[in-house]
Each structure stands twice: as C-alpha cells, then as structure tokens.
Structure 1
C-alpha cells in the first residue's frame, strides 16, 4: 500500500510539526491519513517503526534536495554555493533534518534508527557534490570544505554568533 504508507508518513510529519513525538498518537496519525489504525500498524509495526520510517524519509528527501541544489547552476562554484545555502536553509526549517545532520536528538523527536547518521549523510553529500562539479570543476577537498562549512552553520547558526561577537 504505497499510497497509504505515504499518507501515514505525511500525517506523522504534520503531527510532529505540531507537537513533540511522545505526544503524537497513533490513532490521530491514522485518522489524519484516512486509514485504520490496523493499516498503520500493518505498515510500521509500532510507533518506533513509524518514527524510524519518518527519519528515513527525511534523509531521503534531504539527499533528493541535495541533487536538486547541485543541478541548478551551470558553474561548479555556483553549484557549491547553492548547495551550502540549501543545506543551511533546509536544516533551519526542519528540526528532524537538523537532528539528522548534527546527531543531536531532542526528546521531542522520534528515535533514529540505523544509519544514515551525520557522517554518512556528509559523506554522501560530498560524493554527490564532487561528481556534480567534476570535469573542470572543483576538487573533492573543496567540496568537503563547503559541506563542512554549511554544516557548521547548522550547528552554530550565524545569528547567535553575530550576537555573541557583536557584529
């Protein structure tokens, strides 16, 4: 039931946006998706399974977004800038993605399952960035530097740092 699965993940994501994960109820997720609780349990087994699927979907969406960011500009350097900007903006807007990228899981989020973790995602993004900027483009080291700088902004947002140093 791919349509039911996606509807359930959408409903779970919306519920998570509205309240912390411990307060998300399976019955509410099923009702919001327009399916029975039994369908929800058949798809994911339990709430932890639903949470792991939600985390996995966020990781997949992140990598799809990376590919889109790298595809837009023609110039390799512009591709890297677009990628860094997209990483920072996306992580700022999505707490679940921020947790995936940093490894900092708060009590209001589902428990992550097996990888990908921050290192796996960073490696995948570096590989994609190197491939997207390859012939005559940017070195793998430069791609890694851009990705690491973007992730540093995710960990320590510029606004807080500007406040701290008074600029």
Structure 2
C-alpha cells in the first residue's frame, strides 16, 4: 500500500478514536497525514470511500492476526484454535471497528458503510477492492473457520480423516470467542472455555 494511503488511513483511525465519524473532517485527516486534500480525494474519492477503505484495512488486519495465531509454534490444534479465539477477543476489545465487524453492531460513533459493493470508478486498485463487498459477521466466521481447517489439515498433526468434526471444532472456537466479545466471561477468559469445549483429540 502506498505510503500516502497508509498515512491517511492511520490519520482517519486516530481521528475516529477521538471523535465520532460524523465529526471527522476530510481536511483534518489530510492535514494530519501531511498530504493535500486533493491527494486524499484522489485516493478514496469521498468520505464514504475513506470509511470503506478503513473498514477493509481493519478487517484485513484482524484476518492477518488469525493467520499468525494459527501458525503459532505449538503443534496442538486445540492450542492453535485457543490462540485464534484469544486473538479474536483481544482484537475486538482493542479495535472498535473490528468489534463492529464481528458483531454487526455499529455504534453511532463509527462509520457504517454498506456491506454491499458500491460502484467504483477509482483508478486506485486498493480502493476498487475497498469498494467491493465488505465482510459481514457471518462472512468473517466462515473465513476464520475455513482458514483454520486448511491450516490444521496441512499441519500434519491430525491423525485420521474426520473433516466435519474439524470444521465444527473450528467454528465452535470462533463462535465462543464472539460470545465472549458480546458478554465477557467473569473468570478464566475465552481460553478456558475453548479448551473445555473442544475435543481433546482434534482430527482432520
């Protein structure tokens, strides 16, 4: 991603942490990023385009964290899924946009771009991607589940074929994490819940 675009997204994210999206001004975002307002409009087209690009970047960042959790050093599939669940809850706790994407609950402070694709005439490839469909909560659950299944199947740590059981276990870990986002557990956290709920031997 070009440096100017990344700086503008950083500036927009910082502005959103300080004030509601409705009060974030494009001129202030451009100034904070050290670029002209024209550069901002060239990159994103409009404030809605900036919002979509910001949401897309935060979704991509969350999914990159999922990849890191699944690739962790421990070979135990249960521990990899536990790490994924822990990442999900911590990302949602620390990032309001990730929380909104995972739960579908967009507060009045946040931008709430339509999840459907919007017409895009942008010459910027990254913006054309941002103008495409954004992931719904169900999409994110499916993406994480399917990625977990693929990683664990390829890890060489699973003993015998049982794809439905593995897929159920992967989805269970994600959905337990989401329940902890909506209603944080009093004790033990998501890790204890996931370790207790998943079968001791996961098989692919």
Same fold (TM over 0.5): yes
What is the CA–CA distance in structure 1 between the aligned matches of 2:36 and 2:143, rounded to whole Å?
A: 37
* Structure 1 residues 74-89: aligned runs within 5 Å: 74-89=75-90
CA-based RMSD of the aligned residues comes to 1.4
Query: What CA deviation, in whole Å up to 9, does each residue of 1:40-70 have, x standing for no partner?
Result: 0111111111011100111111110100011
Give ranges in structure 1 of 5+ residues lacking alignment. 160-167
Query: What CA deviation, in whole Å up to 9, does each residue of 1:119-167 have, x standing for no partner?
Result: 11110000011112224177111111111111111122224xxxxxxxx
Give the C-alpha shift of residue 112 in structure 1: 2.4
Q: Of 181, 190, 197, which aligns to 1:154?
A: 181
* Structure 1 residues 116-131: aligned runs within 5 Å: 116-131=135-150
| Structure with the largest fraction of helix | 1
What is the CA–CA distance in structure 2 between the aligned matches of 1:4 and 1:93, rounded to whole Å?
A: 25
What is the CA–CA distance in structure 1 between the aligned matches of 2:45 and 2:29, rounded to whole Å?
A: 14
- Partner residue of 1:145? 172
The answer as to whether partners of 1:48 and 1:111 remain within 8 angstroms in 2 is no
- Partner residue of 1:27? 27
Moved over 6 A (4+): none
What is the CA–CA distance in structure 2 between the aligned matches of 1:131 and 1:151, rounded to whole Å?
A: 21
Flag the structure with larger Rg. 2
Give the C-alpha shift of residue 74 in structure 1: 2.0
Which region of structure 1 is more displaced relative to structure 2, 130-139 or 37-46?
Answer: 130-139
Query: What CA deviation, in whole Å up to 9, does each residue of 1:106-128 have, x standing for no partner?
Result: 11101223321101111000001
What is the CA–CA distance in structure 1 between the aligned matches of 2:6 and 2:17, rounded to whole Å?
A: 16
Give ranges in structure 2 of 5+ residues lacking alignment. 116-133, 160-164, 187-204
* Structure 1 residues 28-107: aligned runs within 5 Å: 28-72=28-72, 73-107=74-108
